[in-house]
Amino acid sequence: MKITALPRLVAVAALALVTSWAGLPAHAADDVVKSDNIRLEAHLDLPAGAAISSDIAFQGDYAYVGNFNGFSIYNIRNPKSPQLVSTVSCPGGQMDVTILGKLLVTSVDSSRNNDSCQSTPQSPALKDSWEGLRIFDVGDPANPRYVKSVETKCGSHTHTIVPAKGRDAKRFFYVYVSSYLPAADFPDCQPPHDLVSVVKVPVANPQAAAVVNTPVVFPDGGNETQPGLLLPTQGCHDITVYAAKDIAAGACMGDGVIFDIRDRENPRIKARTTDPNFAFWHSATFNNDGDKVVFTDELGGGVEAMCTAAQGPNRGADAIYEIRGHRLVFKSYYKISRPQTEQENCVAHNGSLLPVKGRDIMVQAWYQGGLSVWEFTDSSRPREIAFFDRGPINPSQIVLAGYWSTYYYNGYIYGSEIARGLDVLKVDDRRTNSANRVRVPLLNVQTQSRYPERGWGW
């Protein structure tokens, strides 16, 4: 989601149990409709000073949650009683977050007058404006320390940690920066912006982090003329890597792509597709084997009611593709089956896999459509397993809210609720319960690797 007009935005999640795209009555703001196999274990309100809760990363006993005014760190050793450890004020949306060791990397896609945490908004038409990555040392979770900024072309809407290869993985890592919305009068964001910024971060010396390449991934231009596009392809919105397979999936506005990332500093497209039902290729999730990918379509940019009966099941949905060499083969769409009201911003958004052996299952955020746990083992016949859905925060007008991200981590689902704060949920279902045996020490959702069957690993 790219926030460009705050007055248009929305606030929490939505509706009732049905099994088809038909009309159904609205329900009150705090009503919860859910399946019997999921329960809310804990909730913490947004910390003081936080605004628009965004993405989540995990490491050990901690969850790192971004918001448009900075980020917060939670101790989740007891998932049923999470504790706020610290909150950092450092404005600049969206504050996409990733964690590796003691380094927290954050994205700023909001033009600022400088790179400090005291910065104020400033027009990107001014050459001295700044946006890009901020890197923090969170070795002491109670006292995070800002250590480095890296300016990138058109800022950093989202970013992805990419492990270096072999022994180099202990010495440094890469960050793929996704950004867009160039303009002729923006000196640091010139069209055509068909590139990805590659940042190299030395683990022992993060102050030396720097852009090492800006490869043009669409040298002949992307999808720019398809009717109904929210924006033409200009770089990517989000990239998910599967480092062990040397591939990445790019959700690139008008295009869905698979990158070859054997040369980490020079990702190049190996497969590419478009879809007449997709308005904005937003994010991507590989299955555990890395031979399928689920792309999401953020129809309406996340700020509109796109889960109404009028929109139907194939727009603002997921598209499931099988990866066959240099081809992406479309198999089916998946969308929640509960139409939402006109007062609920709703569309496919961020989710992650559940580590269930032999099955492809993920949990996914749908803004005010709540969350859905669903299976795509049969790529042509996806089906829902569980859901949790609140009513609209404001029953008379659309206000930005709902789940930005819902991710599975070590037995629980964590939901970053834009307006309400942090939720912790538990699924109890025979189809998913084997995932409870799997423990990982680290989870940056856009940096995928094969889940172990049991025990530690990432």
Give residue 454's pLDDT. Answer: 52
The CATH number that applies at residue 342 is 2.130.10.10
pLDDT of 11 strictly over 70: no
Query: pLDDT tens-digit profile of 81-110?
Result: 999 999 999 999 999 999 999 999 999 999
C-alpha dist (Å) from residue 325 to 254, 260, 271, 328, 378: 21, 11, 8, 8, 20
Asked if residues 194 and 233 have their Cβ atoms less than 8 Å apart, the reply is yes
Domain-located, residue 218? yes
Residue range 399-420, pLDDT digits in tens: 999 999 999 999 999 999 999 9
Question: What percent of the chain clears pLDDT 70, i.e. is strictly above it?
Answer: 92
- Classify strands 412-417 and 403-409 as parallel, antiparallel or unpaired: antiparallel
Judge whether 61 and 79 are in contact, CB under 8 Å: no
| Residue 164 domain flag | yes
Confidence of residue 28 (pLDDT cuts 50, 70, 90): low
**Residue 15 predicted with pLDDT over 90:** no
Mean pLDDT of 430-452: 95
Banded pLDDT at 16 (limits 50, 70, 90):
very low
Neighbours of 79 (CB within 10 A): 19
The parent domain of residue 153 ranges over 6-448
- According to the model, what pLDDT value does residue 2 have? 46
Is 455 a member of any domain? no
What pLDDT was estimated at residue 151? 98
362 falls within a domain: yes
Distance, CA of 313 to CA of 363 (rounded, Å): 18
Summary mean pLDDT of the chain: 92
Question: Considering the chain, what percentage of its residues have pLDDT values greater than 90?
Answer: 92
Q: Are 44 and 123 in contact (CB under 8 A)?
A: no
Note whether residue 458 is domain-resident. no
Phi-psi sector, 66: left (phi>0), alpha (psi -120 to 50), beta: beta
The number of domains in the chain is 1
Write out the two tokens for 126: 């001014």
- With 0-12 / 13-18 / 19 or more C-beta atoms within 10 angstroms meaning exposed / middle / buried, residue 298 is buried
pLDDT of 30 > 50? The answer is: yes
Over range 58-79, report the average pLDDT.
98
Amino acid identity of residue 280, one-letter, is F
pLDDT reading at 18 higher than 90:
no
Question: Which pTM does this prediction carry?
Answer: 0.93
Give the 3-state secondary structure of the chain.
CCCCCHHHCCECCCCCCCCCCCCCCCCCCCCEEECCCEEEEEEEECCCCCCCEEEEEEECCEEEEEECCEEEEEECCCCCCCEEEEEEECCCCEEEEEEECCEEEEEEEEEECCCCCCCCECCCCCCCCEEEEEEEECCCCCCCEEEEEEECCCCCCEEEEEECCHHHHHCEEEEEEECCCCCCCCCCCCCCCCECEEEEEECCCHHHCEEEECCECCCCCCCCCCCCCCCCCCCCCEEEEEHHHCEEEEEEECEEEEEECCCCCCCEEEEEECCCCCCCEEEEEECCCCCEEEEEECHHHHCCECCCCCCCCCCCCEEEEEEECCEEEEEEEECCCCCCCCCCCECCCEEEEECCCCCCEEEEECECCCEEEEECCCCCCCEEEEEEEECCCCCCCCCCECEEEEEEECCEEEEEECCCEEEEEEECCCCCHHHHHECCCEECCCEECCCCCCECCC
Q: Is residue 176 part of a domain?
A: yes
Q: Report the alpha-carbon distance of residue 266 to residue 52 in Å, rounded.
A: 34
Cα separation of 78 and 81, whole Å? 5
Within-domain flag for 1: no
| Residue for token pair 């070859």 | 260
SS (H, E, C) 170-187: HCEEEEEEECCCCCCCCC
Length of the chain counted residue by residue = 458
| Burial status of residue 173 (CB atoms within 10 A of its CB: 0-12, 13-18, 19 or more) | buried
The per-residue pLDDT for range 372-391, each reduced to its tens digit, is 999 999 999 999 999 999 99
97 domain residue, yes or no = yes
Q: How many Å is the Cα radius of gyration of the chain?
A: 20
pLDDT band at 452 (very low <50, low <70, confident <90, very high): confident
